[in-house]
Amino acid sequence: MTDLQIAYLELFSVGGLGALLVVAGIAARAFTKKANDSCTARTEGVVVGHRYAGEGRLYPLVQYEVDDKIYQTRKKYKGVKLVEAAGLPVPMQPEAREDEKGWLHVKLGPIANIRDLAEQLWPINSSMDVYYSPTKPQRSYVDRPISSSFASMLFIVMGLATIALGILVFFLIQL
């Protein structure tokens, strides 16, 4: 194999992987946007519990009813911005809040009860707006749609970086 053939093989394999990552990220964004756009009906849901996924990720579980059938969903966020105070006692009051852009902000001190934070933010039996698809009521979101996620953006950025790396190596092999 010549150097030029090796360079092209590298470019197509690494660049192709990068292109697949970009396409996967764009497809994930498009799928989420299409699902959110189909949620045109609105109902009132009730907080029935909370989920704790670790690292400050907490979500309300919201139950709603459509055509005498009960569904359950959880609130989604663009991401979680976590501030933790560890080590020496730091006078930081634990708190959790949502911002208008879809981020959940969580401050955790040396002693913090995640369950209490979730209960303060979303009390059990409190109501929340749920938007759902009239044709597929299990497809829903709470309060507002989240169409861009960190994961899909990460796929796109990593794909573009992989393509750039493939092009760089292609030219370096030819030198």
Q: Which residue ranges make up each domain of the chain?
A: 1-37+145-175, 40-144
Q: What is the pLDDT of residue 33?
A: 86
Token pair belonging to 22: 């970009």
Residue 117, CA distances (Å) to 70, 73, 110, 142, 166 in order: 27, 20, 14, 19, 46
Give mean pLDDT in consecutive 10-residue pieces for the chain, a chain of 175 residues. Answer: 87 93 93 86 94 83 95 87 66 78 80 81 94 93 78 92 94 85
Residue whose token pair is 């401050």: 107
> Would the CA dihedral through 106, 111, 114, 119 be positive or negative?
negative
Q: What is the pLDDT of residue 102?
A: 81
Q: What is the pLDDT of residue 1?
A: 82
H helices of the chain, in order, are: 3-37, 114-121, 150-174
